[in-house]
Structures are given as C-alpha cells and as structure tokens.
Chains A and B, each alone.
Chain A
C-alpha cells in the first residue's frame, strides 16, 4: 500500500538540483531536434493539479503546497505562479472544523463552476488516514478582481483515521445527464468513495447516507462522462519519489455513476481493476491526477502532472495532452511533435501541396505496356531494382515561382512540394499544451500563411506574423485540426479546410464534418 506523503515530496523537490529553466530559444532548439514538445512553458512546476478551469480567458490550476498555490496561464502554454488560494481565505488557513476533522495541510484540490459560484475542494490531511476535504466558495478566480475572495464552507467529508478510507484527493463531477453533483475521494487507505453534493451549497446533499465505495487502493480519482458511460480515472503506484515514482493513471467504466466500474477485462476497480490510461513515457515519469479540459468542437485535452520531468531537473510538472477516444475508452494522446510530414485531408484523401508542377520521384519513366514477348524459355531474372532516393526541394524547385505560391490538394506522390516541415516557434505563445508552429515546405523557407480573404498561400519566407503561426490540435478521433493564430482583418477562428477535392481553404471548424480534419503523417 502506498501512502501519500507530501512533505517528502517537498523535500525531494528541495533536494533536487536547482532547475535552471531553458531559455525559450534553447528549449525550442531542443524541441526542434529531439521530438516531443516538453511539458508546458514558463513555470509548470506542479504537484496534484486541480482540473484546469478557464475564467475570463485565462487558464487556472491549483496544486499541492502551502496555501494551495495558484498556477495561471494566458494561453494554456506558458504558465506562472500567482500566490495561493488560502491567502484570500479569512485566517489564511482551513477553518477550525476542517482542521479538527483533518489537519493543517493543503493538498490536491479540485475546482468546478456552478452558476455564479466556484467551489474549490481541497485536502486537509492530518496524520493520515485522519483527513478531511474542505470547501472554499468564491465568485471569481481572478486575484486582481475586487470581488476576489474565498470563504471557508467547512469540511465536506472526512475520515477518522480508523475507517478504510483516507479522505483526500477530491474529484468533483457534474453529471451532464441530470445535473447531479458528485464527489469522489480517497487515497490508498482502503476505498475510493463517492458522495452526492448539493449544487447550491457544494456540501453533501445527504450527509447521513453512507458513501459508496467505487474503487480501492488508488488515489486522485475523478469521474467523466461520455456517450452513456461514466469513466472513473484513478492513479495507481507511488508518488513523490521523483524519477523513481511509479504513478500511472488507470480507469474503469460503468453505466451508472455509482458503479460498478469495470476495466477492459471486466475486473471491478473495487478489486484492483483498472485499464491503463497513461504511464511514464520518455523523459517524463509518473503521470497522475487526471483532469478533463474540454475545449469544445471535439477538442478534448487532459491535465495531469508528471512526478519527474528529466528535462527540468526532475521536478514534478503540469502537462496538458490531447484526449482521444477509441472503442469506448479514452486514450492519452501526445502533443504534436516537430518533424516533416504530409498533410492529408480526411475529406478527400489528397495532400496539401504547393501549386507547382510536380516531377515524379525518381524522374520520368516510360510506362510499361505489358510483359515482354515470350521467347519460349523461362523469363529472364529481372535485374535488381535499386531504391529511389527521396526527392528534395533543392533538386526540383528551380522552376517554382519566386514569390508567393498558391496551395492545392493532390494525390500523394511523395514529391517535394508535398512535404511540410512543422517546427515550434519561440516566443510566439501557444495554446493549451503546445506552442504555435510554423509550417514550411521541407527544405525551403516557403511558409504556409492565411490571407485576408480567408484563403491559403505559401509565402517566400517565414516572418513570424500571426497568420503564419499555426495551432495544431489533435481531435478525439486522432485526426488534426490546423488553425492559423489569426487571419488578417478577421476575428473569426478559421481552420484549414478541404473544399471539394482539390482545394484547401480556411473555414469555420465544423466538428460534424471531415472537411477540417487532417491526417498528419510521416512521409
């Protein structure tokens, strides 16, 4: 059984080598030559993040630490710290009843908006498993607002130190089917539990009812809903041990919010079941604390923290990744990776290319009209066929127009005008989980750009203007939505779109259509 021990985590973080954040240039250089975009920019230091919530265009997440530190981002890519929640609570600490039920720690909060109120549920453990989950109520998340303040509404649930539960790690869930509000909680000492809340007060709706046990021996539980299924996501493994943490996110699903939650093998999460959702990958170790970030238009992301980011001295960091769905289960997607690709329309199956006359890869060859005439004997052994080298722009671009060039869609032939290098851009901002990218014809500086007419063009050189910066979001089916940061003279968000079979354009994204869905493939 694993025991959450946040002070140990704090020691680990203090003991870790001083993290010198890469300069943005260095970071981008690293990204450009290695592959994955590393976890968020700015200061993503975070442990046990709350579900990310958007308020007045800003992204907020709260985490474990003294007073529940606030992380804020203007774009979802570059993050900064902005004080703590408890600094706006009278007394600066959990209220006396919460302290009495639990203790004077502030860990692992979760947040939800209901009407004009924000409810923040937070862990207030004492000597575990004696713990409590407290509630803060506020009307704005903006610390600069004159209305900014948090009121302690007392403990919501607690564990007495004897029962089979450790009442920390709240996860709040508003059921979209009926508007009922639920809270899951628990950490390793026994059960993950579920209680119903009153949407008006945020407190328990039926305080005398027994909580429902829905999983065991895990923590960081939270429920999401999709297409008739409730999904319970929890974190297994050990936290707070830097690069030796074994945190991983697992899940089960149920037709009822109260369970039973079974994994893909039919094992009840009350008996230890759990299909893997996210494990360690690459230089980021120990994912935990899932939170859904639904951006609409079929773009879903999830927040989490990695126990150790080896590119940042091994500290724990906030991350945002695409959330995909396949066969009725969520899948952890990966943020877009720099590289050279073809960009293929899901609508047409044709690829984006410069509107220039292509040259066959390997040169022109006469068409074979059929087998050679029979000579009566066995056919001669054909000579070995050598590999044809890749076509590069330098070899075929001498006749391309010198200035701006139109774009079109054409059958994929691996020709130079069909290969695009996609590279993150430094100091240009970003969007949840990722920086903006430039998209250039491979081997050239010809850059994809939006025009004031809402069309596309390849400009001679990349200048970094907003119409040349591209947002690439993976949609829930695994295809991509590609959008310019802005279109000249327009405030409307437009996406790369196939209109007809042969024409790319920009159009308002329609999640019900394949027109704005693209496969970005390694050629």
Chain B
C-alpha cells in the first residue's frame, strides 16, 4: 500500500499537468481548467432519477469542490476539520451550482459515475482544484419504496470519511486507507419509505481519492431497486 508521501511522489511524477497541480501554480487556474478535459469517469446527470446499479452502488451525487484539510488523518484531526464546516446536518439537498460560502466560495457539482465508485481525484483535477490535504463533501438522496429495517449503509473511502443518514452520523473511519467495498459499515438502521438524505465527507491526504456507497440488507446482501435523485425530501 502506498503511503501518503509515496502517493504524493507518484502523483508528482505522473504527468506535467498533475505536477503543476501537485507542486505549484505556475499557470492560472483558468488556464489550467481550460487545458483539462472533463473527468473521464464522471458525467453530468441527464435524467431526473437513476436506479442504484446491479450491485446496489449509488452512482449519482452532488459533490462540493474541495476545501482544505490541515493535519493528519487521525480521528481528532478529521473531526476538527469536519466540525469547521457545518455541512454534516444537511437535510435539504443543495442545487447544482449552489455556492457554499467557505474558502472563497465552493460550488456544488452534480455527477454520475460510470463505475461503482466516485473518483474524487478525477473530479477535482478536471476542475483544477487541489486533491491533496482536502475534504470533499458529497450528498445524495435515495428513495426507498418501503420502510426497511435493519439495513446498513456500507461504504469504502480513500481516505478517512464520515457519513450521515438523515442527519445522523452512522459511519466514521479514519487513517490513510484505500477504497475497499464495504470497508466501513453502519450499525443496523432504518431506511424510511420515501426520500433519505446521505451526506459524506471524505478526507484525503494525498494522491488518489474516491468513495463508493451502497446499502446492505439484513443478510449483508446489496439492496437494489432504490432510486437515486438529487432532490430534497
């Protein structure tokens, strides 16, 4: 497993464009953005709703442009960083293009991922935003056709992350870690009939960063048939 430092080093050597981002700002953000293609694994949603995929993964999210994280990925440092941004209690879903009045203004972007995971590195790099020592906030809503008891939210994240369902924190994992499917799993919880809001905060140290999320049933099997949208309850 690559350490943060190794990942940063690899990142710095990868491409000229990446090195510009990783080691300095020798061109303006506008120039860099203009030079960069869109994120290859992400696209802008074109439909109002989307089903979770065959393995239950939620592939539509609103992602906020990254904000800085100062410190390691330990429990206390991550908590301090997330408490500084009062987004955890989101129960109303922002609209695409809304701007959060933090760090000079951070914009929400709606994305569909072509894979099971949301590649935050692609996301930020395409926007010419930093990818190291940052916090990504993401939000989505899941429509459940009925009340489901005893289910679990199951996520993987690179790296540390906190997750909230309908305003209650249900997962917190720390340290430098890869995205492993079902790495962090909530205790049993109830998914209510109708719209449920999921908020995630993913904290990255350096290098690649991404996340995935799905719900598991009482037998730890993926729940399919849920509808994802980006609309408030």
Contact = CB atoms under 8 A, between A and B. Distances in A.
Contacts of B5: 367, 369
Interface in A357-408: 357, 367, 369
Nearest to B74: A357
Interface string B159-194: 000000000000001100000101111111000000
Contacts of B173: 502
Contacts of B184: 500-503
A502 B183 contact: yes
B98 interface: no
B152 interface: yes
Interface of A: 357, 367, 369, 453-455, 499-503, 505, 507, 515
A515 B182 CA distance: 13
Nearest to B186: A503
B183 A455 contact: no
A499 B76 contact: no
Interface string B62-74: 0000000000001
A501 B182 contact: yes
A501 B173 CA distance: 11
Contacts of B220: 499, 507, 515
Interface string B185-214: 111100000000000000000000000000
Nearest to A356: B75
A242 B139 CA distance: 73
B95 to A, nearest CB: 32
21 contacts: A357-B75, A357-B76, A357-B174, A367-B5, A369-B5, A453-B187, A499-B154, A500-B152, A500-B182, A500-B183, A500-B185, A501-B182, A501-B184, A502-B183, A502-B184, A503-B185, A503-B187, A505-B187, A505-B188, A507-B220, A515-B220
B216 interface: yes
B173 to A, nearest CB: 6
A500 B75 CA distance: 20
A367 B182 CA distance: 30
B138 to A, nearest CB: 19
Nearest to B72: A364
A470 to B, nearest CB: 20
A454 B220 CA distance: 14
B187 A501 contact: no
Given A367-B5, A369-B5, A453-B188, A501 B75 contact: no
A468 B214 CA distance: 32
B132 to A, nearest CB: 16
B185 A455 contact: no
A503 B154 CA distance: 10
Given A357-B74, A357-B75, A501 B188 contact: no
A455 B182 contact: no
A505 B188 CA distance: 9
Contacts of A500: 152, 154, 182-185
A497 to B, nearest CB: 9
A500 B163 CA distance: 15
A490 B152 CA distance: 20
A482 to B, nearest CB: 18
A501 B180 contact: yes
Interface in B1-40: 5
A503 B5 CA distance: 28
Nearest to A357: B75
Which of A453, A454, A455, A500 has the most chain B CB within a 10 Å cutoff?
Answer: A500
Given A357-B174, A454-B188, 10 more contacts: A357-B75, A357-B76, A369-B5, A453-B187, A499-B154, A500-B154, A500-B182, A500-B184, A500-B185, A501-B180
Contacts of A453: 187-188
Contacts of B174: 357
Interface string B132-170: 000000000000000000001010000000000000000
B75 A499 contact: no
A499 B154 CA distance: 9
Nearest to B79: A357
A369 B8 CA distance: 13
Contacts of B186: 503
A510 to B, nearest CB: 9
Contacts of B188: 453-455, 505
